[in-house]
A and B are shown apart, each in its own frame.
Chain A
């Protein structure tokens, strides 16, 4: 899995490409841990180019979410392919993740929170 990183205001945006599973998820966990160490705890994951995710990949996302919350941060997701979105719904994880249709919509939500 490829991870590209950019920063939009205070939000770190990670664009994931490829499969999110048991093996590839370790790299994502390491990336998030490094961001937490640098106190960059506002994280957005763009999943537009994730073409496969299984329960191990979902488990990685749950671990990441807990890690970020432990650091009083925020995690958002966007651009899920329809079959990825369906897995979130089947497993009911759509109830515990903040999922947006697009990256811009997600980033706007951070501005709304900081304005309040």
Chain B
């Protein structure tokens, strides 16, 4: 099993940095599409939520990403240091078709085999995502 940990400041540029880091480690582990795309998508959605809704783009607050890869699963924990992220996820209403926002959690739930939203030990939000490999429901 390969595991990786990263820490990002809550600034807009961190999303690009995180996606580049994630692409690199998926390349290292020879994870190809559709698993690659599905995993990058769900991690990016959780990361964006942590950045905007959890940490509210306060640069001093961190986002912690832990990724594990084995032959059966891809998994990630995304943890923020905010106070409102979990409440916003719990209060989420169905997305409106012509509104720009509100689709991230829906996409996580669609692509992930399992997605658990809990309060982290630091009081922030922890999103734990698992994708079973060779998942039949992801078809391209």
Looking at chain A's contact residues, the main secondary structure is helix
Q: Which residues of B contact A (CB under 8 A)?
A: 12-13, 15-16, 19, 33-34, 37, 40-41, 44-45, 48, 51-52, 95, 97-104, 106-107, 110, 140
A-B contact pairs, 19 of them (CB 8 A): A21-B16, A22-B51, A22-B52, A52-B37, A52-B41, A54-B44, A54-B104, A55-B48, A55-B103, A55-B106, A56-B48, A62-B100, A63-B100, A65-B98, A66-B98, A90-B110, A91-B95, A91-B107, A92-B97
- How many residues on chain A are close to B (CB under 8 Å)? 26
For residue A82, CB closer than 8 A to chain B, the reply is: yes
**Pair B98/A52 contact, Cβ less than 8 Å:** no
**Pair B15/A22 contact, Cβ less than 8 Å:** yes
A20 to chain B, nearest CB (A): 11
Once the chains are docked, how many angstroms separate the CA of A59 from the CA of B106? Answer: 14
B40 to chain A, nearest CB (A): 6
A21-B19, A83-B34 given as contacts; is B107 within 8 A of A54 (CB)? yes
The CB with the most chain A CB atoms within 10 A, among B12, B41, B100, B106, is that of B100
A23-B16, A82-B140, A83-B140 given as contacts; is B107 within 8 A of A93 (CB)? no
Q: Which residues of A contact B52 (CB under 8 A)?
A: 22
A55-B48, A55-B104 given as contacts; is B12 within 8 A of A23 (CB)? yes
A88 to chain B, nearest CB (A): 11
For residue A13, CB closer than 8 A to chain B, the reply is: no
Instruction: State the 3 A-B residue pairs at the shortest beta-carbon distance, nearest first.
Output: A59-B100, A55-B103, A55-B104
A42 to chain B, nearest CB (A): 20
Q: Which residues of B contact A92 (CB under 8 A)?
A: 97
Once the chains are docked, how many angstroms separate the CA of A62 from the CA of B41? Answer: 18
Once the chains are docked, how many angstroms separate the CA of A105 from the CA of B48? Answer: 35
**Pair B45/A93 contact, Cβ less than 8 Å:** no
Q: Which residues of A contact B15 (CB under 8 A)?
A: 21-23
Once the chains are docked, how many angstroms separate the CA of A22 from the CA of B41? Answer: 13
For residue A113, CB closer than 8 A to chain B, the reply is: no
Partner of A21, one of B34, B44, B97, B140: B44
Q: Which residues of A contact B19 (CB under 8 A)?
A: 19, 21, 52
B117 to chain A, nearest CB (A): 16
- Render A47-74 as a binary contact track against B, CB cut-off 8 A, 1 for contact: 0000010111011101101100000000
